[in-house]
Structure 1
Amino acid sequence: MTASAAPLDLDLDRESAVLVLEDGRTFRGDAYGAIGQTVGEAVFSTGMTGYQETLTDPSYHRQVVVMTAPHVGNTGVNDEDAESDRIWVAGYVVRDPALRPSNWRSQRSLEDDLRQQGVVGISGIDTRALTRHLRERGAMRVGIFSGERSELPLAELTGAVRNAPSMTGAALAAEVSTTEPYVVPAVGEKRFTVAAVDLGIKAMTPTLMAQQGIEVHVLPATATFDDLQAVGDAGPDGVFFSNGPGDPAAADAEVAVLREVLDARIPFFGICFGNQLLGRALGFGTYKLKYGHRGINQPVIDRSTGKVEITAHNHGFAVDAPVDADVTAPSDRDGTAYGRVRVSHVCLNDDVVEGLDCLDLPAYSVQYHPEAAAGPHDAGYLFDRFVELMSNNEKGNRG
Structure 2
Amino acid sequence: MLSKVISAVYWTLWVTSCVVTSAEDPYLTRALRLMSETPLIDGHNDLPWQLREQFNNQLNKVDLNKLETTHTNIPKMKEGRLGAQFWSAYVPCATQYKDAVRQTLEQIDVIHRMCDKYPETFMFATSSQEITTAFRLNKTASLIGVEGGHSIDSSLGTLRTMYQLGVRYLTLTHSCNTPWADNWLVDTGSEPSEHNGLSPFGKQLILEMNRLGMLIDLAHVTVEVMNQALDMSKAPVIFSHSSAYSVCPNKRNVPDEVLRRVKETKGIVMVNFYNDYVTCSETAKLSDVADHFDHIKKVAGAGIIGFGGDYDGVTRVPEGLEDVSKVPKLVAELLRRGWTDEEVKAALGDNLLRVLSEAEKVRDNLRSKSPDDVPIPHNEVENSCRTSYGYPTDAGAVHSLSTLALLLTLALQTLITLTAL
Fold conserved between structures, TM > 0.5? no
Larger Rg computed on CA atoms: 2
Greater RCO (Cα-Cα under 8 Å, separation 6 or more):
2
Instruction: Give the strand-richer structure, 1 or 2.
Output: 1
How high is the TM-score relative to the length of structure 2? 0.27
Instruction: Give the helix-richer structure, 1 or 2.
Output: 2
How high is the TM-score relative to the length of structure 1? 0.28
